Structure 1
Amino acid sequence: MGAETDALLRRIHDEYADMLWRYVVRIPYDAELARDVVQEALLRAWKDGSILEKPDPVVRAWLVRVARNLVLDDLRSARHRREVADGVLPDRRQSDGGRSDGTQRLLDAWLVTDALATLTREHREVVVGAYYGGKTVATLAEELGIAPGTVKSRMHYGIRALRLALQERGVTA
């Protein structure tokens, strides 16, 4: 590798590695394996080359998508499904005959988190506050220092945007 290639790899790593690692472990995903995912995503960006000529938001989105796909591939892999880290067998009394390992719930949570990240801060505040925090319109209005009608409006448009973001990710009504 030449000095130019070394510099490019260093720049890519310095600019995007921390952001990607935080994204991957937030999924949640094993911190050590997350480092491998980050390295693989950065390597793919370097190999592609053309992606690095695009504006920063495009590069970030591309890297996040690659990292997300790498994690999904790993979570769906036979290795991941058959590994038992703590040595405790799953409870066979589950309604699905013991086949559930929580992966679907994890993937659903990841999908919703990813879709929520596309909302504006204002929309996300009211949607998360109401649905995950169990707060009323009046409580949200007081906490955010806005009128109750504004909370309702943000909730309406936030839910619409969330529904669209989920549809874009393959979730059907």
Structure 2
Amino acid sequence: MSRRDGAADEALVRRIFEEHGAAMLAYAARLTGDRARGEAVVQDVLLRVWRHPEILAGPARASLFATIRDIAGGAPAGEAMAMLGAVEALPPEHRDVLNVLYFQGRDIAEASASLGVPAGAVKERSYQALRQLRAAVAG
């Protein structure tokens, strides 16, 4: 098994969220009838893409929305709940960076200004947070 590139994984998740995040959340919230549950479904989808980028082998948007539909229509999003627990266990400064980058959809410079920390700190905290999340959900 080859070792995956953490920076490439982060870039993939960031790109997917930047391009499709708002639409994914709107669709998931509509399917589940609840914004918080919709957020959990979107997190679950992003986690699946992170673990299995081949999900995007076809048209990315269609694959993402099909995955949202599958998760929202199935059992409770167990992976998402595990991810939420792992996020809660992160240090506050790491959670804040993930929130600004992935849920508010800001870039590094905007996150730096919003959080009042250098861009390098935003990058490092994001990297460390994603590394910790990967370890937590891998088990």
Structure number with greater CO (CA < 8 Å, separation at least 6) is 2
Larger Rg: 1
TM-score range for the pair, normalised by the shorter chain length: 0.3 to 0.5
Q: Structure 2 length as normaliser, TM-score?
A: 0.45
- Structure with the larger helix share: 2
